[in-house]
Amino acid sequence: MAEITVTVNGKSYTRDVEPRLLLVHFIRDVLGLTGTNIGCETSVCGACTILMDGQAVKSCTQLAVQADGSSVTTIEGLASNGDLHPVQEGFWEKHGLQCGYCTPGMIMASVDLLQSNANPTEDEIRHGLEGNLCRCTGYHNIVKAVQYAAEKMQGGN
């Protein structure tokens, strides 16, 4: 077992974990934050995307021990004081989700995308989200959701 300390959604957790424990299982099973979903084991689907030290990572292909000393944000930590993050709001406003299973990962990836490109084109949004799969929406309304968020974060709307 290895002792790790990880800050998740602003709260510090110190836990003993098996070295082989995946970060996504640490988040879900050890900390009980089940908003982050698992859709594959090949790092393709992106359902498990979280922010680690501000950057989007797929938590199914990180070991928990690799997160030692890191600061992690999951979908549960995105809204502040009950106010939805503009990306969350965009997904709701633009019907950017149906079954919702890819949504936490899709939202976290979108947050990362807008951090590095505040005003992306449609093409940039589509490429920015190519690591996240959705089977319900055909991506149409996801693109619109991210466009909504981009506008809102720049003070529009």
Task: List interacting residues with another protein (CB under 8 A).
Answer: 18, 20-21, 28-29, 32-42, 44-45, 47, 74-76, 78-79, 84, 88, 91-93, 95, 97-104, 107, 122-123, 125-127, 129-130, 132-143
C-alpha dist (Å) from residue 92 to 2, 65, 98, 125, 154: 40, 35, 10, 18, 19
CB of residue 102 to another protein, shortest distance in Å: 5
For residue 25, give the H/E element and its range: helix 23-25
CB of residue 151 to another protein, shortest distance in Å: 17
- The smaller minimum CB distance to another protein, of residues 69 and 140, is found at 140
- The smaller minimum CB distance to another protein, of residues 6 and 75, is found at 75
* CA–CA distance, 24 with 37 (Å, rounded to integer): 8
- The smaller minimum CB distance to another protein, of residues 6 and 86, is found at 86
Place of tokens 């979280």: 50
By the 8 A CB rule, do 133 and 46 touch? yes
